[in-house]
Amino acid sequence: MPKLKSYGVFISHAWDHTPEYNKLERMLNKAKRFKWRNCSVPKSDPLHAKTDAELESELRDQIRPANVIIVIAGMYINNREWIQKEIDIALEMEKKIIAIKPHGALKVPTDVQQVAPLLSWQTPQIIDAIRNPENYPIAPVDTTSELSDKWQENITDSPDYSGLRDLIQDPEEIRRLLPKMQPKKTERRRGVSG
């Protein structure tokens, strides 16, 4: 029987080992006839950089031996800055990037869609994408949301929504009005129920 190739995999997790990271690690460990090395920063030995530049340098050292980078798209929103940095490093090093869609999510950040094919949480598909990344092209991303345009067209074209239409067109006006729109705190009266 031929020896299995070992694939270096960097799972982007922005220093936080979430349940999704742990689940993916378990899936890869349990996969039959698949051997991999985890190039991610281990929880037991985190990076000890003092500056952002040192942290970026250490990240590069972790990503360099990886064959593929996996981005769990659900983590991207909360950890955008460092996951984007990991994506940028991977692109610079010409590493293949794979994205895994969050369970039940209809939307995935455009920044992730533009650099990686989107996979579901299916072990065979993830393993195949690691082994054969060329079989998983990046799907074109429609950056103009037809649904969003339709909503704006149908609702805000009504004369009743002229103020809302103006706000949508002028973000500075929204920023100016937000402090005024904070709910007022009301004090409950003692002895009165309801």
Q: Are 106 and 79 in contact (CB under 8 A)?
A: no
Instruction: Evaluate the CA torsion angle 20, 75, 10, 54 in order and state its sign.
Output: negative
Mean pLDDT (10-residue bins), the chain, 194 residues: 83 71 92 92 70 84 93 71 85 93 72 86 94 86 50 45 56 63 56 52
Q: Give the per-residue pLDDT at 18.
A: 73
Beta strands in 33-121 (DSSP E): 35-38, 68-72, 96-100, 118-119
Q: Are 75 and 20 in contact (CB under 8 A)?
A: yes
Which domains are delineated in the chain?
6-135 (3.40.50.9200), 146-181 (no CATH)
